[in-house]
């Protein structure tokens, strides 16, 4: 099903390619980290814990908006990494066409679930914030804690640095914070850091 792309998102994807072209220079290794496209899904503003968990599952299975065609295939990359999620693969397909992507769970989004069991409807911001706080403080009520996220991010960085190939990484907004912070600790120069990465936004990491 083709869905018209919202033009307010066009800047993010077009600027991705301009930014990549600017940064592609003479360095040993360069990685372009891209957040996936915008997901076609509307979260419930208020929900019980069961409803919130259902929304999380539905979000993971939802498609993304159609993206504009681009000349991304002309970029000088060697490997394209995607996560196990549908939205990562769809984003890569739409941006780069059908290619032999390298799929790895090491760059999956940090999973989120209800922080407490409640039959009372609570606001979406409560579920988001409380769940991420549990993650940050390594509370195992979440499916993954911060310590585990750091571990898999470091595993992934070890893989790409050993290969030492220029690469593109189509991943997820929350996970990007951990990935970029660990890359910085591995002497990567990061083009920019944000509190929230927009859908389609790219960050350049080089060393």
Q: Which domains does the chain possess? A: 28-206 (3.40.50.1240)
Percent of the chain residues topping a pLDDT of 70: 82
- Whole-number pLDDT of residue 17: 47
Query: Does position 115 have pLDDT exceeding 60, yes or no?
Result: yes
| Better-predicted residue by pLDDT, 128 or 67 | 128
Q: How far apart are CA 116 and CA 14, in angstroms?
A: 41
- Whole-number pLDDT of residue 24: 46
User: Counting every residue, how long is the chain?
Assistant: 207
Mean pLDDT confidence for 97-105: 93
Inter-residue contact 80 to 96 (CB < 8 Å): yes
Inter-residue contact 73 to 47 (CB < 8 Å): no
In DSSP terms, 32 is beta-bridged to 168, 204
pLDDT, tens digit, for every residue of 12-41?
A: 544 454 454 444 445 689 999 999 999 999
Written as six digits, the tokens of 168 are 């593109």
Closest by CA position to 160, among listed 141, 183, 140, 142:
183
pLDDT, tens digit, for every residue of 145-196?
A: 999 999 999 999 999 999 999 999 999 999 999 999 999 999 999 999 999 9
């Amino acid at each position: 099903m083709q869905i018209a792309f919202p033009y307010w998102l066009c800047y993010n994807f077009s600027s991705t390619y301009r930014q990549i072209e600017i940064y592609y220079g003479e360095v040993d290794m360069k990685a372009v980290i891209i957040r996936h496209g915008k997901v076609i899904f509307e979260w419930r503003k208020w929900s019980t814990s069961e409803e919130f968990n259902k929304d999380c599952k539905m979000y993971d299975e939802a498609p993304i908006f159609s993206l504009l065609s681009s000349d991304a295939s002309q970029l000088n990359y060697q490997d394209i990494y995607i996560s196990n999620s549908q939205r990562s693969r769809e984003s890569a397909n739409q941006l780069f066409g059908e290619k032999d992507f390298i799929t790895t769970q090491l760059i999956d989004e940090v999973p989120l679930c209800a922080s407490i069991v409640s039959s009372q409807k609570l606001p979406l911001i409560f579920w988001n914030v409380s769940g991420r706080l549990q993650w940050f403080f390594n509370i195992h009520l979440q499916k993954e804690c911060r310590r585990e996220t750091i571990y898999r991010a470091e595993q992934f960085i070890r893989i790409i640095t050993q290969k030492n190939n220029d690469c593109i990484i189509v991943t997820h907004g929350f996970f990007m914070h951990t990935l970029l912070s660990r890359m910085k600790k591995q002497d990567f120069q990061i083009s920019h850091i944000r509190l929230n990465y927009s859908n389609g936004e790219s960050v350049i990491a080089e060393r």
